[in-house]
Amino acid sequence: MASAVEREIGTVLFDVGAVLVDWVPDFADVRRVFSLPLQIADEQLATAFWKYRPYYDESSNAGEYWAKVLAALDLPAPSATSVTDMELIDWRDWSRDIPESIALASDLAAQGIRLAVLSNAPLCFSKRCRGQEWARYFDEMVFSAEVGVAKPAPEIYEIILRRLDLPAAKVLFFDDSPVNIAAAAAAGLQTHLWQSAAAAREFLASHGM
């Protein structure tokens, strides 16, 4: 979707995964932790992983999430130990900050521009994100598991707008998902599909920020 910055910005809103942190699931870890049979193709695993991820992002129940994924692959439910191992691996992957993105947030905050976060993430991740050094740049953070609804549902955009106490037209949203960007635009937010921190910086500069 094309960018749509046309009015004064009151807050710049960021997604987290693939925007502020370099989160890409490593299916080799999933195979190892759950001892998946070799005949299960990567495409099958990816399909099951992503199909039930919104459930995990809204419910925070890791055991049920991985049980759903494995059931879709005709495998038995995971042990509590393997689920804990995957939670630690997931967090390890979520802990890889993108330095250029954090620098952009720091620069915007230094200019007095209000920043916020809107992310799909289970509760264990949201708590840890709030403890990261970069969290200090953001005045407001909304994570899907904390509110029980995930992007691209319209309700989550209503929630962040209430928290910000701003009309949608005053908020610029960066997200790497075209689906989430489309939903935000439908909710009235100004939007820009995230490609990189450098591209976002250039985009903001072209609009006087």
Domain hosting residue 110, numbered range: 11-22+97-206
Dump the DSSP string for 78-109.
PPHHHHHHHHHHHHHHHT-B-HHHHHHHHHHH
Identify whether 40 is part of a domain: yes
* Number of helices followed by number of strands (H, E) in the chain: 11, 5
Region 155-176 average pLDDT: 98
52/195 Cα distance (integer angstroms) = 25
| Domain's final residue, options 94, 117, 148 | 94
Could you tell me how many residues make up the chain? 209
Same domain, 201 and 107: yes
pTM for this model (two decimals)? 0.92
Report pLDDT digits (tens) over 62-109.
Answer: 999 999 999 999 999 999 999 999 999 888 877 789 999 999 999 999
User: Of 110, 101, 129, 99, whose CA–CA distance to 197 is shortest?
Assistant: 101
